[in-house]
Structure 1
Amino acid sequence: MAVCRRHGSRGPALTFLIMGAIGYMVNTVFGAMFTNGTETSTVGLLYPVESETREAKKLDGMWNFVRSDSSNPSQGLREKWFSDDLAKFRPTIGMPVPSSYNDVTEDASIRDHVGTVWYDRRFFVPKSWQLQRVFVRFGSVHYDSVVWINGQQVLKHEFGHLPFEADISHVLEYGKENRITVLCDNVLLQVTVPQGKVVNSPVDGGVELVQTYTFDFFNYAGIHRSVELYTVPQVFIRDVVVNTDLVGDEGHIYYTVESSLNSSIAADLQATVKILDKAGTVVGVDTATGAELKGVVIVKNVKPWWPYLMHEEYGYMYSMEVTLEGKSNEASEPVGEIFDVYRMKVGVRTLEWNNTSFLINGQPIYFRGFGRHEDSDIRGKGLDYALLTKDFNLLKWVGANAYRTSHYPYSEESMQFADEHGIMIIDECPSVDTENYSQILLEKHKASIEQLIHRDRNHPSVVM
């Protein structure tokens, strides 16, 4: 239970808070002004990687941080705190990103804060990026968020635990410093995923604003995962979808490549897909042309992806190299202009089940593992590679081969670790102990699970 206390004389402030008890005003303030769960589509969102055609720059580190008054959650918007450095409006403190903000300081009012907080920092954009398209990508902000670049709103997103991004090429100043501002709201209501309630409780000399919920873990908040800038060419690979099958000793890797062009123009493109083993040897290749860039790469003597302790070479991952290029009009020029190159890891495995067994690669598997949490001391739900490494070492030490992401989507980096370590994942959306049902909540549940499936569909470790 998060508690935010406000003490003082019984005057206008108390009247405001008691009136807000009907819904803390967040039913209208937060729900209408910030997000509604449908702003971010499931288009693109490939995990950022560098290549011959792409650059990436993390904005992790120390950011400036301001806590809004819980009794006045929209003050920052009214006063346009996003229009300049936060320090121009209020004193700021340093806050690490990625991390929950709750346990970093010794200030109980920050730990138990109910409402909005603000982050900002400056970053440099090189002139060389001016000919590229530049995206900003957040791994996770809990719960609601709004993002501005140089005072211009570029992005809104609801749901913690899931990534979101926006093309910010048009608002950047190249060869100069730029400013990014993030509003983060941790309030949970009956129409959020997960649910919660905000009530006002009278106390001596004032009231306390209380966030309640029925789930059994703390409502950590903040910028929980990495913030990253990445560049792509003007014509780029927007998405890649992979499905796999085993046919004898062959691995069949079915792929679909989506470009940034519309279907009529995309007909002039082709995608070349190569599969490389761990030694870097090309073991399969295929080329797709036309408006729909899809096909299959066949790998002879394939090494399937196996769970830990089910095979001596568990967690085997191939590298998949996707090259987007223009189709050549000349037989003597088999390759046209190369637009974009993207690389990702793929594992080849099959899933099926019957009345008695769950089968991976045709073999029955018994799940041995845990329900985990991402929580840790000081960092809260902030991404930490040292802790992630320790957790996976402990899983293997105890002989586990699986865990469920109780009770929300874990980081993309956690999914990558699971792929490499051969740990099976039961992937969960952030819905716990639902109390009341509504059409709004249903639509948000649909949006949340759609974003989760879109993010994790290519991971061989995700089996449910």
Structure 2
Amino acid sequence: MLKPQNSPTRELVNVDGLFAFKVDYDRTGAQERWFAAELDTALEIGVPSSFNDLFADQGIRDHVGYLWYQREVRVPRGWAGERIFIRLDSATHYGDVYVNEALVASHQGGYTPFEAEIAGHVAAGKTFRLTIAVNNELTQATIPPGSIEATSDGRRQQKYMHDFYNYAGLHRSVWLYSAPATRVEDITVVTGFEGGTGRVDYTAAVANLSATAAVSVQVLDAAGALVATGDGAEGAVAINDVVLWQPGAGYLYTLAVQVHDGGALVDEYRLPFGVRTIEVSGKQFLINGEPFYFTGFGMHEDHVTVGKAHSNAQMVNDFSLLEWIGANSFRTSHYPYAEEVMEFADRHGIVVIDETPAVGLNGSFAGVFGGAPVSTYGEHFVNGDTAASHRAAITELIARDKNHPSVVIWSIANEPNSSEAGARDYFAPLAQLARDLDPTRPVGYVNVMFDDFEKDTITDLFDVIMLNRYYGWYLQNGDLASAEAVLERELLGWEAKLGKPMIMAEYGADTLPGFHSLYDQPWSEEYQSKFLAMYHRVFDRVEALVGEHVWNFADFATSNGIMRVDGNKKGVFTRDRRPKAAAHELRARWTALNN
């Protein structure tokens, strides 16, 4: 799905701002047709935002179910005769969209966009009532999965097995846009190069293309100069003296797809893209034929008050800290990030491992989150409904992000159970689906510490080995010497077993800012630094290790529980982005590595 844009043939209106807001405590909103009239509420809410931390009301913060948003929207008066669409960049985790009294769109999945054509329900120059019902529930049929339990006094509580808070709401922007009847609906770009000549293979899907219409493309360089042209909705063009998209140097071209009919421009869509190649070769990960070593973090979309809401200002600050510390990459743990983040990474040459929301597919985690461990694969837990949602998540992620040069790996799950019976049958078709949808990028998943190279049954299905390891924290806590021996043994075991490039996708230790110790004392800033230094010694001794992503970039909110005090403290920055001692240690290492 192409992101809406302003162009010579399209117009785009942002619908963010203050919405009327009502919590559906009794789950009666749809039955009582709240969408059919002005919401009976005094509450207002800012969009984008998570709803959970905005109000001084425990009942709102803990609500499980539907939340209703509403505002009046005016259609620009010049849009008569145009196709008109409403688009939500996300609704976490489910959204129903009403225009006046008509249900125009529904979508399951909290991190990818959806839209509906509404020209039949609105008029140019007139207002309409936009109502959005958002549901934050997680079940065994959703990605990520969860369950809902009722307390003795009738309250509904959301249970889930992932270690970050279940923020929900309209986290990203809402848009109204116009497009002509004949419009470019999708574009796929695949790039390569030989010597100084770049190759761009493109395919454009055009709706309502008449027999007299013609499709053509122009390639513009970063200065806007024309460097190549092509005819047809599908083809290939060459770029002479090509400038490659490189890590740290995000050079972008623009592919302008145009539709003409009778000599008149009917539609135009401009897609930024970079020319680069990705390859796994033996134990190496290659970008543009050169070995690449990942330095960076697993991150979260997580900020004080607004939760998972996208903010351009906070995004710029986070990327500035990535640059300061010497990071060249990050993983979108554990869900697709806002499209603005992907575009920023494209422009600035930051490499991205792009991940689906498939986290918590592991029955052994039940013991960690307050229950008894259960088997993972079967009708009671990860079942056919889960797989269907997982397929949709992979499909929508790749459809949205396939043209971003910054994206170099599709990560289809984080820490699933990979040793139980049923794991291979579940993951083999999902890995194949990702490859079928995009044959140009490696596919991976992130392996959990419980399922080492001797127990794992699925990692051979994937192109890269991505590991989360916490020796010295959850195991061998406070004993870094023993942890170092165990870590090295395991990495060498993976290297011998599969001979593929390995990325340490998570490693870290919870740290209280300002807590200092002369000793190897967990939770101290000194222990975090020593912990990371131990891992780095091991990494430098393992040939197949091609990347290190510290967990985490910054402290973040988690669910209630005795295992976390005010959230996860493994960040090398605090939640308000102040550096801990380890940040300075990482800066010294990564700056040297990347130079």
The TM-score bracket by the shorter chain reads: 0.7 to 0.9
Question: Measured at CA, do residues 247 and 266 of structure 1 come closer, stay the same or move farther in structure 2, by a change above 3 Å?
Answer: farther
AA in 2 matched with 1:429: T
Tell me the equivalent position of 1:182. 132
114-123 vs 168-177, greater mean Cα deviation? 168-177
Give matches, 1:170-319, under 5 Å.
Answer: 170-202=120-152, 206-261=153-208, 266-288=210-232, 293-308=233-248, 314-319=249-254
1:63 aligned onto 2:19: yes
Q: Please say if 1:457 is aligned against 2:402.
A: yes
Q: Which runs of 5+ in 1 are unaligned?
A: 1-44, 309-313, 329-335
Tell me, in whole angstroms, the C-alpha distance in 2 between the residues paired with 1:153 and 1:410. Answer: 27
1:408 alignment partner, SS class: coil
Structure 1 counterpart of 2:13, one-letter code: K
Residues 213, 260 of structure 2: 8 Å contact kept: yes
Question: SS of the residue aligned with 2:148?
Answer: strand
Tell me the equivalent position of 1:137: 87
Deviations 1:60-87, CA, capped at 9 Å, x for gaps: 0000000011xx21x111111111111x
Q: Distance in 1 between matches of 2:132 and 2:76?
A: 22
2:347 counterpart of 1:347: no
2:4 to 38, 48, 61: 48
**Does structure 1 conserve the Cα–Cα contact (< 8 Å) formed by 2:139 and 2:148?**
yes
Matching of residues 32-181 of structure 1 within 5 Å:
45-69=1-25, 72-73=26-27, 75-86=28-39, 90-181=40-131
Letter in 2 for 1:430: P
* Per-residue CA distance 1:222-274 (angstroms, 9 max, x = gap): 0110000111011111111111011110111111111112xxx5554322211
CA contact (8 A) 1:225 1:411 kept: yes
Question: Which deviations, in whole Å up to 9, do the C-alpha atoms of 1:313-333 show, x marking residues without a partner?
Answer: x1111122111112x6xxxxx
Aligned-partner SS, 1:445: helix
Whole-angstrom distance in 2 between the partners of 1:390 and 1:59: 24
Q: Are the aligned partners of 1:273 and 1:297 in contact in 2 as well (CA < 8 Å)?
A: no
Distance 2:42 2:99 in 1: 19
Say if 1:274 and 1:320, in contact at 8 Å, map to a contact too. Answer: yes
Give how far 1:392 is off.
0.7
Q: Please tell me the residue identity of whatever aligns with 2:147.
A: K
- Does 1:438 pair with 2:386? no
| Letter paired with 1:77 | A
| 1:363-442 matches, cutoff 5 A | 363-434=290-361, 435=363, 436-442=381-387
Q: Give the Cα separation in 1 of the matches to 2:360 and 2:21.
A: 32
Q: d(CA) in 1 for partners of 2:154 and 2:392? A: 36
Aligned length in residues: 391
Between stretches 299-308 and 275-284, larger displacement belongs to 275-284
Q: Per-residue deviation at 1:213?
A: 0.7
Could you tell me the TM-score, scaled by structure 1's length? 0.83
Residue identity matched to 2:170:
I
Match of 1:12 in 2: none
Query: 8 Å contact 1:123–1:179 — kept in the other structure?
Result: yes
In structure 2, distance between residues paired with 1:157 and 1:270: 34
CA distance in 2, matches of 1:283, 1:274: 8
Where structure 2 has 5 or more consecutive residues not aligned to the other structure, the ranges are 364-380, 410-595
Contact 2:145 2:386 in 1 (8 A): no
Provide the residue aligned with 1:29 in structure 2: none
Contact 1:114 1:211 in 2 (8 A): yes
In structure 2, C-alpha distance between the alignment counterparts of 1:94 and 1:244, rounded to whole Å? 46
Whether the 8 Å contact between 1:259 and 1:266 is mirrored in structure 2 is: no
SS in 2 for 1:187: coil
Shift of 1:108: 1.4
Percent of matched pairs sharing the same residue: 42
Aligned partners of 1:207 and 1:450: how far apart in 2?
38
Distance across 1 between alignment mates of 2:341 and 2:172: 11
Letter in 2 for 1:129: W
SS of the equivalent of 2:130 reads: strand
Contact 2:187 2:204 in 1 (8 A): yes
Q: Distance in 2 between matches of 1:252 and 1:212?
A: 49
Q: Which one-letter code corresponds to 1:60 in the other structure?
A: D
Match of 2:256 in 1: 321
**Residue 4 (structure 1) aligns with:** none
Q: Is 1:356 aligned to 2:312, yes or no? A: no
Greater per-residue strand proportion: 1
The Cα shift of 1:100 comes to: 0.6
C-alpha contact (below 8 Å) 2:220/2:253 kept by paired residues: yes
Root mean square deviation of aligned Cα: 1.2
